[in-house]
A = this chain, B = another copy of it.
Amino acid sequence: MRVEIWSDIACPWCYVGKARFEKALAAFPHRDAVEVIYRSYELDAGRAKDDVLPFLTMLTKKYGMSRAEAQAMDENISSQAAAEGLEYCAQGRDHGNTFDMHRLLHFAKEQDKQGELTDRLYKANYAERRSVFNDHERLVELAVAVGIDADAARTVLADPSAYADDVRADEREAAQIGVTGVPFFVLERKYGISGAQPAEVFTQALTQAWGERTPLEPIGGTGSDGADVCGPEGCAVPQQG
């Protein structure tokens, strides 16, 4: 069973939502048959790479919140993160463009390191003091921490076209599916869950999607009807034509 998670490292609810989903997954009896794929979604794609600013400042500038509103929002997320056992610095965190992180995550996917690098990037962004924005060497260091070769990561980061198509493809798919915010969880391309819902909601969704797995519907008859197929008994000679 396949679960796709559209998310952004710069999205605090994605950080919390991932933990809630994983709590549900860890308790799901068929967890070993669940494949989790992370898909790219940039919350702030239009921001220049060198336009890095404190998270709270971004909230006041971009969304017109008062400083108090921004702080209240961040403190709320902070307490919900704490409830999930996540480290979270409510202050002094940066915000910026995440395109390069998404490219690096697609590269990591090829090495079965996507989940680990996602975790490492979240932790770096939300629980550590050093900024992850506009700093390739910081990203290289985080990639190395999950077992990715430093030079390979550096090469990917230095070439802005590397894995750019993969990021864009994920974002196009998000638009087609109707994703307007993240985190967004898709099960079997059938069920959609928007936001960092409680673990119980993920449990319900996993259970429902699992229960509704249906066998494939055959089109055009099967091998025994004379279709041209190779199998354990050799390659069939069709009865007709």
Contacts and interface: CB of A to CB of B under 8 A. Distances in A.
Contacts of A14: 230
Interface string A215-237: 11111111100011111111111
A124 interface: no
A59 B238 CA distance: 16
B219 A208 contact: yes
A238 to B, nearest CB: 8
A196 interface: yes
Given A65-B234, A73-B237, A189-B188, A16 B181 contact: no
Candidate in A43, A180, A227 with the most chain B CB atoms within 10 angstroms: A227
Interface residues of A, number: 64
A72 B218 contact: no
Interface string A63-82: 10100000011001100100
Given A180-B231, A195-B227, 12 more contacts: A8-B230, A16-B228, A80-B228, A181-B236, A192-B218, A192-B219, A193-B218, A194-B220, A194-B221, A194-B223, A197-B228, A205-B219
23 contacts: A11-B230, A11-B235, A13-B235, A59-B234, A63-B233, A73-B235, A73-B237, A77-B235, A178-B216, A180-B232, A181-B223, A181-B230, A182-B229, A182-B230, A189-B189, A190-B214, A192-B216, A192-B219, A195-B222, A195-B228, A195-B236, A196-B228, A204-B219
Interface of A: 8, 11-14, 16-17, 43, 59, 62-63, 65, 72-73, 76-77, 80, 110, 177-178, 180-184, 186, 188-198, 201, 204-205, 208, 214-223, 227-238, 241
